[in-house]
Amino acid sequence: MQTDLNAIKSIAIDYLKLKPCVNDEYPFIVYHPFISNNPTLFKEKDKFIFIDVINSKKNFNMYIKQKEEDIKSANNFDRILMMMNKTYYLLFLKLITMYLSKEDYNKYLKYIWTNTEFPNGDKNVAPAMSLNLFKNSDKQMLMTSDELVYLQKLPNEVTIYRGTYNKDNSNALSWTDNYDIAKWFAKRFDGNIVIKSTINKEDILACFKCRNENELIIDYTKIKNIEIEKIKDINI
């Protein structure tokens, strides 16, 4: 099947019409697939202005109408993604999976996963849902030739690591076979924990090297021999 752009546009418009929420402590921060701050930028004739879309229903409706026209005029999926906040990418992908060609599904699964900050902690998509997205992917389409070769050369049982701040954070898809990278992530999130485990190669769903992280996407329900290490010195 080919990607059904019209169906994707329809879902994007429904997504657009969700009610925005504001941060209690910082009310200028907005949680919404297409709005990230208030006041927000709005195109008025030949210039851009800032409008209040939270306290003015009129302004909100104007913004939604304009953005809806932008979505309708998009000539490809990339244009729609460019309008959207990255934190909502993964849920959007889940909603439109049935309308994507096999090639586009794999292309955008990789793009969204590797360009979204902390996708394992996505509040809108549980780890089990993300796991299902990868189980429905095609490794040959999902990975580059270098990534495929790297995965093929791994031993049948692989030692994997995950840097975190929480010793109970093993139910996640993103691990690495590089201990130093795991230490770096422990430091990045102000933690001091590296989780060590093993997994069979057949339960590794993908390998992504595009961010120099040796990221292994794994079926976390299949990990074995979990060990918790508290790092005393996390200076890297």
Residue 46 lies in a domain: yes
How many distinct helices (H) and strands (E) make up the chain? Answer: 9, 10
Q: Is the pLDDT of residue 118 over 90?
A: no
What's residue 159's pLDDT?
98
Number of structural domains in the chain: 2
Number of residues that this document lists for the chain: 236
**pTM to 2 decimal places:** 0.92
Average pLDDT value for residue range 7-30: 96
How far apart are the C-alpha atoms of 135 and 52, rounded to whole Å?
42
Residue 187 has a pLDDT of 84
* 13, pLDDT greater than 90: yes
Averaged pLDDT of the chain? 94
Instruction: Name the least confident of 145-154, 160-169, 223-232.
Output: 160-169
pLDDT at 93 > cutoff 80:
yes
- Higher per-residue pLDDT: 1 or 161: 161
Residue 236 lies in a domain: no
pLDDT at residue 234 is higher than 70: no
| 38-72 tens-digit pLDDT | 999 999 988 999 999 999 999 999 999 999 999 99
CA angle 117, 121, 122 (to 5 degrees): 75
pLDDT at 11: 98
Is the pLDDT at 233 greater than 70? The verdict is no
Phi-psi region of 118 (alpha: psi -120 to 50; beta: other; left: phi over 0): left
Give domain status of residue 36, yes or no: yes
Pick 189 or 163 by higher pLDDT: 163
Residue 186 forms part of a structural domain: yes
Q: Are residues 13 and 104 in the same domain?
A: yes
- What are 174's two structure tokens? 């993103």
Tokens of 105: 């599904």
Do 47 and 110 sit in the same domain of this protein?
yes
- For residue 200, what are the β-bridge partners? 157
Domain-located, residue 235? no
Q: Please report which residue ranges of 17-162 form alpha helices under DSSP H.
A: 57-73, 77-83, 89-96, 102-115, 127-135, 139-142, 145-153
> What distance in Å separates the CA atoms of residue 223 and residue 203, rounded to the nearest whole number?
9
**Measured distance CA(225)–CA(60) in Å, rounded:** 52
Give CA–CA dist 185/120, Å, rounded.
Answer: 13
Q: Do 130 and 147 belong to one domain?
A: no
Asked if residue 100 and residue 11 are part of one domain, the reply reads: yes
Token pair for residue 135?
A: 């189980």
> 91: domain range?
5-135
How distant, in Å, are the alpha carbons of 25, 39, 146, 161 from that of 125? Answer: 24, 28, 29, 23
The yes-or-no verdict on residue 235 having pLDDT over 60 is no
Q: Is 178 helix (H, G, I), strand (E, B) or coil?
A: coil
186-217: burial string, b at 16+ Cβ within 10 Å, e else: bbeeebbbbbbbebeeeebbbbbeeeebbbbb
Last residue of a domain, one of 99, 117, 135: 135
Q: Which pLDDT score, from 0 to 100, does residue 188 have?
A: 79
- Residue % of the chain over a pLDDT of 90: 85
**Within this chain, do residues 76 and 162 fall inside the same structural domain, yes or no?**
no
